[in-house]
Structure 1
């Protein structure tokens, strides 16, 4: 049989792709970033903003669609880079067609984050042009090249970090390291040496004397808080952990312990406590002590004895010890509930949770404690009701969240804020030019610059709040997550399961009248109540 030759007809494409230069009316934005808050870097950011505003405006086929600029942000991780995240969100909403930036290192120093963001934008049909490398991500060979360049950028960042760590360790070893944040009770002289701060030092002495006198860390913190004694830390006053840190710190006997924390070697860099992973450096008799070595040794022995007798764990481990820790709130005063044991050692020993403010002062909050078994019983009841009807509850909620229209008033407010932010950035750049020209003094420049920075930060924060109110991505994601949880687990829970509680509950609020309102991770609140007794009087 003779094989017949196949006839192939070519069909020419209807549409042809054109390079960016020939495409008309592309909405182009720019992304800039500086990694420190120094004045030189801020001037660099202003120059980048001015350059891209002019560059985009000069192109006939480009429509200026905004500039995103992150100040004092590291490129090793995307978290915290608010302007970068806003740019990505705007791209997902179809507000841009093209992005231009200085280089791969300005975009991101983390290879994984960089490639993921580039791929997502490419899937949306949005290209990125890196000026320094002359790479367009819409070109065919861009990804392999960008992977190499991003890896080089990440390696460069890791090398810089390693060099900084080496320098710090060298200063640890030769005793020339100057701490940036002195411990409570001390301040620094002009040469960076630690000197005693009299008012704070008096509080430190009081803490040591009280502990040696038999008071516990929690009781000491309560008394300091009640008297309104200020702390030097950005915290909610005196806490038990704060007092423990002071009691354990060798700085108060004149010694300086270095490298109590360490930074991870790989990207993203994280700071964590040094639990023996790296050597520490102790400089004895480094500065004037606040308490004697004999007092410090006595405190250490007393602390060790109490731990052995009471099996007390440190506060960080305790906070994560129980599923209900920090998740049970008071419906009367808003405080967190604490775990308590009743009739310890008896056959009828019970566990209850009680309002922290009620424990401190019954007159301050009249909320009563609730037994742990009743919290578990109410959660199980709520789960079973929800598991049997989750689609009827969550599906309409999900559809409603996705169908929420944009508020025109919110849109106008956001546009107004965008305009004000751009104007402030222009003023900041012009102010810099005036200083360079010698038409303004340094003191006046710094004062005005600080004022502009403060106003800019306020406007950006207001814009973020408006955008958070307008869109419900987080609620949508959490609702979809809850649907997945309920679909993958049994519809009936016979006994309380801690894993289920942690999977779906954000927090639970206890109200008078034996009621608990469970708040799911998507914000949905469901209330359950006991049919009969189950509440106990709070005990101190």
Structure 2
């Protein structure tokens, strides 16, 4: 028998027993998890299971399954026993999932809200031994919704405070994170300063693009010589495009809703930036210059190839 799932009468260490004449109201599945193999005794798998079993017996719920995930992160549901529990719940073999604490079941209350919706669709409730979480009753469902709303409110407040903080930093010309664009590094006070070796590479990218008129070609040349620069990732046309579009290189600092001129951040001239912009958008105009059409001979060759492939397919 799988030691992760067994009936309640096979569980050791319980301090209560079911009376034979009592009718269990719910089929309970106990879920226990630890993040490391050296979990403290009070948070151990065995202790979590013991407290959950006692709660089930006190509520006259029969313990149908016990699921243990040891040394597994709670950041997602990609845990072997949790996935097994999901399958049993979806098949209608469980009425309620019992856990010692919400963070054993899910990484956060917001994550638990998402999971609760899924379990509710299957007719399965959630019950915490140490917290006021019990969705097996209307009152418990109401409390859980209030808890979820409070968590959502707090999350929105954190987002608002973060946005305000970024705006305040932006007003001072400071960069909002620790990953400034190529050509810059963050100073201790949060502003940017130009890294001359990287700035030289940025200027070369702008100049080389005006010569080749091809982002793939520039990316190819850079990738061939990747060992000679400080960039440890593969050069791609999309990466070249992002550099060519970044107005920070002409001193236009834009973060969120804040726009300001920071001439000390300039790496390329306005003329060079405008030249590359004109090249990038040269096929967007429908009046003066448009993308050259496919030649008639090339078009006929392509049509014939497609027709031959279609004929072979239907035959």
Normalising by structure 1, what TM-score?
0.41
Which residue is equivalent to 1:331? none
Q: 2:31 aligns with which of 17, 29, 32?
A: 29
Q: 1:244 aligns with which of 241, 246, 250?
A: 241
Counterpart contact for 2:167–2:258, Cα < 8 Å: no
Residues 239-278 of structure 1 aligned to structure 2 (within 5 Å): 239-259=236-256
Q: 2:86 aligns with which of 76, 87, 91?
A: 91
Counterpart contact for 1:107–1:114, Cα < 8 Å: no
Count of residues paired in the alignment: 272
Residues 297-316 of structure 1 aligned to structure 2 (within 5 Å): 297-307=270-280, 309-311=282-284
Question: How far apart in 2 are the matches of 1:114 and 1:120?
Answer: 10
Q: What SS does structure 1 have at the residue aligned with 2:267?
A: coil
> Residue 306 of structure 1: CA displacement?
2.9
Question: How far apart in 2 are the matches of 1:53 and 1:375?
Answer: 68
> Residue 82 of structure 1: CA displacement?
3.6
Distance 1:238-1:108 versus aligned 2 partners, 3 A rule? same
Question: How far apart in 1 are the matches of 2:118 and 2:309?
Answer: 45
Counterpart contact for 1:101–1:131, Cα < 8 Å: yes
Counterpart contact for 1:108–1:114, Cα < 8 Å: no
> Residue 119 of structure 1: CA displacement?
0.4
Distance 1:190-1:155 versus aligned 2 partners, 3 A rule? closer
Question: How far apart in 2 are the matches of 1:349 and 1:140?
Answer: 70
Q: What SS does structure 1 have at the residue aligned with 2:226?
A: coil
Which residue is equivalent to 2:3? none
Question: How far apart in 1 are the matches of 2:97 and 2:260?
Answer: 54
> Residue 137 in 1 paired to residue 135 in 2?
yes
> Residue 255 of structure 1: CA displacement?
4.9
Which residue is equivalent to 1:374? 306
Higher mean displacement: 242-251 or 195-204: 195-204
> Residue 181 of structure 1: CA displacement?
0.4
Counterpart contact for 2:186–2:193, Cα < 8 Å: yes
For each residue in 1:285-343, what CA deviation from the matched residue of structure 2 results, as whole angstroms up to 9, or x when unmatched?
Answer: 344x433xxx3x2233323433554228xxxxxxxxxxxxxxxxxxxxxxxxxxx9641
Question: How far apart in 1 are the matches of 2:169 and 2:248?
Answer: 18
> Residue 222 in 1 paired to residue 220 in 2?
yes
Residues 139-538 of structure 1 aligned to structure 2 (within 5 Å): 139-213=137-211, 215-229=213-227, 232=231, 234=233, 237-259=234-256, 279-287=257-265, 289-291=266-268, 295=269, 297-307=270-280, 309-311=282-284, 342-343=294-295, 346=296, 350=299, 374=306, 378=310, 529=313
Counterpart contact for 1:221–1:239, Cα < 8 Å: yes
> Residue 240 of structure 1: CA displacement?
1.7
Question: How far apart in 1 are the matches of 2:132 and 2:194?
Answer: 56
> Residue 28 of structure 1: CA displacement?
1.3
- Structure 2: unaligned runs, 5 residues or longer: 1-20, 58-62, 286-291
Question: How far apart in 1 are the matches of 2:304 and 2:279?
Answer: 27
For each residue in 1:504-533, what CA deviation from the matched residue of structure 2 results, as whole angstroms up to 9, or x when unmatched?
Answer: xxxxxxxxxxxxxxxxxxxxxxxx7587xx
> Residue 29 of structure 1: CA displacement?
0.9
> Residue 163 of structure 1: CA displacement?
2.1
Question: How far apart in 1 are the matches of 2:272 and 2:300?
Answer: 32
Q: What SS does structure 1 have at the residue aligned with 2:67?
A: strand
Counterpart contact for 2:167–2:255, Cα < 8 Å: no
For each residue in 1:115-171, what CA deviation from the matched residue of structure 2 results, as whole angstroms up to 9, or x when unmatched?
Answer: 4223045x2xx5421345423223354333323332232222222222222222222
Counterpart contact for 1:29–1:65, Cα < 8 Å: yes
For each residue in 1:469-514, what CA deviation from the matched residue of structure 2 results, as whole angstroms up to 9, or x when unmatched?
Answer: xxxxxxxxxxxxxxxxxxxxxxxxxxxxxxxxxxxxxxxxxxxxxx
Higher mean displacement: 238-247 or 143-152: 143-152
> Residue 226 of structure 1: CA displacement?
2.9
Q: What SS does structure 2 have at the residue aligned with 1:66?
A: strand
Which residue is equivalent to 1:428? none
> Residue 194 of structure 1: CA displacement?
3.0
Normalising by structure 2, what TM-score?
0.65
Which residue is equivalent to 1:335? none
Question: How far apart in 2 are the matches of 1:148 and 1:108?
Answer: 11
> Residue 109 of structure 1: CA displacement?
1.7
